[in-house]
Amino acid sequence: MLYLYKQFQAKKKEVIEVEMDRPTKVRFMTASEFKRYKNCRTFTFYGGTFDSTPVRFVVPHDAVWYVVVEKGLRAEAAPVKAQCRVLPPDRQIRNSVAVDAPAHVRAADASLLEAEVGGSGDAEE
């Protein structure tokens, strides 16, 4: 597996923002999980496959966090370019939801968005 990665010392509620030039998998994980990832062991992460940019992740707790942008397998590596940065806490920014997130996660995000917009169902042109 080929990947790009960057390490951040991030605090709770800060936002890690990632911009990439093509759809790919973006994973957010703590230092211990990144070590497991590098060693091909079972690991946990936040994120998934994203087809639009920017991807935003609200940090759930203080820790050393790694952003991993996967390029694919050695035989099928994609030329992915990515940039990431840490933003200060902002109540207006929500986590991005991955394309391959479970249905209940996408449904919860959609209902939250509808509640914020007002849920009238009428679109403005």
Please report the domains of the chain, with CATH numbers, ordered by start residue.
2-117 (2.60.120)
* Assigned token pair, 86: 């840490």
CB atoms within 10 A of CB 17: 17
Distance CA 26, CA 45 (A): 10
Closest by alpha carbon to 13, among 53, 62, 84? 62
Divide the 125 residues of the chain into consecutive groups of 10 and give the mean pLDDT of each group. 91 94 93 95 94 92 95 78 92 81 76 58 44
The amino acid sitting at 51 is D
Largest CA distance in the chain: 51
Q: Phi then psi for 68, rounded to 5 degrees?
A: -120, 125
Q: What is the pLDDT of residue 82?
A: 92
